[in-house]
Amino acid sequence: MRSTANAKAATFLWEAYLLQGLIALIGGVGLFLVSLLVGSLLIALLYTGRIYPKVQVAGVDLSGMTVEQAAQTLEQMVLYPQTGRIVLRDRGRIWSFHPVELGFSLNAQQSAVAAYRFGREGPVLSRIFAPLKIWLSGVQLSPRMTYDERQAQGVLQKIAEEIEVPVTEASLSIRNLEVEAVPGSVGRSLDFEGTLLALRDQLSTLTDGIVEVRVKEQAPAILDLSAQAETLQRILSAPLVLKLSPSAEEGSQWLYEPQELARMVAIERVQGAASAFVRIGLQEERLRAELEEIAAEINRPPENARFIFNDETRQLEVIQPAVIGRTLNIEQSIRVVEQRLLQGEHEIELVVDTQPPTIGDSVTAEELGIRELVASYTSYFYGSSAERIQNIQTAAARFHGVLVAPGEIFSMVDKLGDVSLDNGYTEALIIFGGRTIKGVGGGVCQVSTTLFRTAFFGGYPIVERHPHAYRVSYYEQTRSGALDPNLAGLDATVFAPVVDFKFKNDTPYWLLMETYVNAPARTLTWKFYSTSDGRVVEWQTSGPQYVVEPPQPLLQENPELAPNEIRQVDWAAEGADITVSRTVYKGGQIYFQDRFFTHYLPWRAVYEYGPGTDPEVLEAFLKNLE
């Protein structure tokens, strides 16, 4: 029991001593805090209206100064904006400036105000002890600076004028058949935003320094065209020869000298999905125009072989071999010419599409169903001039040996072709514009009239037929030379390409036409060979009805004639209406019927006389006409 009581007494004494020590410690700390508070308040009181002690701005001690004094001191002591050096650099070129030239200057007033306010703003507890804290440790403040980027940007703008380079695309040019390739160059532009940011960072250190000018580079879409230049030079190194295949006739080639090629060359910039490139070739439209001219020279339709029917052997004899048709494939030729020209070739075959004829040289009469003469007609042209006879021979030859397919509508104009001097025709009298005048092809209507009558009397359907404006004596002549008015209304005129004569081969057999001109006898005979289907033709004519006498003759002056020279240039003809009816029988039954109506105009005679012709001569001439 005694030992336990002693222990408790010892513990009590220890706790009592500890409590006394704690009370003493608290009293000491309180006394210390009071001392700090008193010291801080004393400093604040002593520095009323003045900057606290040991406050520096940019290393300048402003202790105890008023704001005005501090501002003046800073203006005198902080000279970096006026004396500092900032160097801008680009590729070894430098530009040196004082910070103030870049719009960087000290705001002394704001810096002084900031120094004065330091320790006087913020939470209450912080402000109470701030004066003592500043007095014990001091403080270093950054100056308040002004940075006018507009002024800096103006400086950079002048630098930009010196360093910026526009981007240049590579280019090609041709001079005297020499190709010049100018490489592209990278463009440079000053990065104002990046440079201003770097400049701001350097100026904020208030130290001299070097600032690298930020530059943006722009590469050209096409930097180098040396390969294209080589290709182009190769194209211009020799003439271009376009030709047909070796199987075509010799001499079928077209040559373009390098100077012509240079005018046809196309240098085209093409923008691809990822990049741009330059395409070398020929101008497609110009090449197409050249090929269209070539096509006009070489294109030809297929032509059946031409034959005559040997009446003794009853076989066909070739008088003109079949012609394979050909057409220049312009679009494909454009691609081939460009492709091979780029590959360095200068002799290039054009692409030609061929079309075989329907009837070749080896076909037989039996295969075509040609067994006999089924129709024939002979017309007469007594009194024709040598020029008219030449035109009759030229036109008739176009139809000699020609085949007409079963069911085909035969067009005379299509087979006749161009009636021109180049095709063997000459000038003779024709009806044009209400007058009988000299024109190329006079006499062709003798041929169309003979074909019409052959088809008419042969019983073939007439699809298109146009009569002459007035009655022409040639078409009413008989073998004896006398005129048969029953033949009036059985003429047919053609005038390519608007006035045509057409008939139809309505049989299941081919029809072979043969034409024979006997110039001394003044006859034209047209023959149809095929297989007869037994058709028979009956026809009737109304003869001339409602006859109208021709107008009085017309005399008119022609400056090309001599005085008292009189020449007839048009002949009188009666006007009349004529209707010709035809009935075609087959197998004893009417196969078809048709009717042809013709209205002939009355036609006056026309005479021309030379200037200065004696009136008495004209009067006597008119009396003779009566």
Question: In a 3-state reduction of DSSP, which class is residue 146?
Answer: strand
- DSSP state at residue 509: S
Note the pLDDT of residue 4.
46
Answer whether residue 48 shows pLDDT above 90. Answer: no
* pLDDT class of 277 with cuts at 50, 70, 90: confident
Residues whose CB falls within 8 Å of the CB of residue 271, separated by 6 or more in sequence, listed in order: 221
Half-sphere exposure of 290 (CA within 13 A, CB side): 21
Bin 89: left if φ > 0, else alpha if -120 < ψ < 50, else beta.
beta
pLDDT of residue 623: 82
CA 49 to chain centre: 86
- Position 522 scores a pLDDT of 95
Query: What mean pLDDT comes out for the span 47-53?
Result: 88
Highest mean pLDDT among 173-177, 434-438, 442-446, 596-600: 596-600
Q: pLDDT category, 534, cuts 50, 70, 90?
A: very high
Q: What percent of the chain is helix, strand and coil (3-state, nearest 5)?
A: 35, 30, 35
**Single-letter code of the amino acid located at 468:** H
pLDDT value of residue 172:
85
Q: Which two tokens stand for residue 526?
A: 């047209």
pLDDT tier at 374, thresholds 50, 70, 90:
very high
Interval 605-622 mean pLDDT = 88
- Cα 424 from chain centroid (whole Å): 41
Give the integer Cα–Cα distance in Å for 397 and 447: 10
For every residue of 254-278, DSSP letters joined together read EEE-HHHHHHHEEEEEEE-SS-EEE
- pLDDT tier, 173 (very low <50, low <70, confident <90, very high otherwise): confident
Span between the terminal Cα atoms of the chain, in Å:
194
Residues above pLDDT 70, as percent of the chain: 89
Residue 34 has pLDDT above 80, yes or no: no
Crossing angle of helices 284-298 and 330-342, in 10° steps, is 120
pLDDT above 50: residue 193: yes
CATH class of the domain defined by 233-355: alpha beta
For residue 129, the model assigns a pLDDT of 66
**pLDDT (tens digit per residue) in 457-513:** 999 999 999 999 888 888 999 999 999 999 999 999 998 888 999 999 999 999 999
Q: Which residues, 6+ apart, have CB-to-CB distance to 584 below 8 Å?
A: 459, 535, 536, 537, 590, 591, 592, 593
pLDDT higher at 225 or 125: 225
**pLDDT tens digits along 513-528:** 999 999 999 999 999 9
Instruction: State the pLDDT at residue 511.
Output: 98
Q: Give me the pLDDT at residue 27, please.
A: 46
Check whether 381 has a pLDDT greater than 50. Answer: yes
Residue pair 256/363 in contact (Cβ under 8 Å)? The answer is no
Residue 128 phi, psi dihedral angles, 5° rounding: -65, -45
Q: Backbone phi, then psi, for 96, in 5-degree steps?
A: -105, 135
Q: Which residue has the higher pLDDT, 282 or 492?
A: 492
Q: What residue segments make up the domains of the chain, in order of their start?
A: 1-34, 233-355, 365-625
pLDDT classification of 25: cutoffs 50, 70, 90: very low
**Averaged pLDDT for residues 298-323:** 96
* pLDDT tens per residue, range 559-595: 989 999 898 877 788 999 999 999 999 999 999 999 9
Q: What is the pLDDT of residue 8?
A: 46
* CA-based nearest residue to 532, from 460, 593, 461: 460
15 pLDDT more than 50: no
pLDDT tens for each residue of 244-270: 987 656 558 899 999 999 999 888 888
Alpha-carbon distance of 574 to 488, in angstroms, equals 12
